[in-house]
Structure 1
């Protein structure tokens, strides 16, 4: 919580100064217990889960599964840094998507990144994130190269612990939402 307040104060004081505004908010993964499950629901009614499976090479590894009744279907493995920013995804179809330095998730200010698509082709993007009275918004702009990035505008809301509880996504005229339903923490 202290980290969130510090980010809010920094953004209020230095928001216009982009060189100083690249701060980060959100959930701190360092105390995340192996086996913790985050269950989400999409606006379409579909559910999925992210399960923390452990750390590998200083990255936090999550497996994503679609939930269909009592069945869970593997979708992808996501590798994130301690700030929750994705650096790599390995999909069930064998494709690997890489982000350098990361996907700019929850960065306040301007953040440039490169997305390497399934064939290793680079695409350059610029994300601009800002804190609002209702959470965080981020607009991602395609600059050049391979065009992979799946959305252009995101709005997020957080709980008191800094966990994302709602994500609204807008890609062109298409809108969707993802809501956190529950968190299951192992004993």
Structure 2
């Protein structure tokens, strides 16, 4: 489609013929004309939409999670902590890894957590929720996310039962244990 914007002649592609029907091309032309009438350049609007899609595709859960792990490594966290964090992340990545972080809903996150919970790994599911919350908060802090869906899931998972273990509290009995 040829059009003029701020005195300059420009062209806008509405799509290739076999892929885009004539009806759809006419609808896109009408939308472009509406934008021109409102004082906007249809080509720049189209470019902005394409950039937003590219950014959303680049800001996947996995990429932001890796960035978060790099950050906590620089903060000096123990190697064991980093290893456990990567393991928890591997459990989350199966369902959420390639999804743009903005599009992840609390229901999707809960479904992922419940897959682990059903296996009886209650504490692991809770730690996964905690890690995902830290990743979502990091995304919000770096202006690549808009909310933390894991916060809404507080209390949604089954709490593991605490098992208390006996302890020797008297110093004389500790000596007996060591000598036995």
Give the TM-score of the pair, scaled to structure 1.
Answer: 0.27
Greater helix fraction, Structure 1 or Structure 2: 2
Higher-RCO chain (CA-CA 8 Å, sequence separation at least 6): 1
Larger Rg: 2
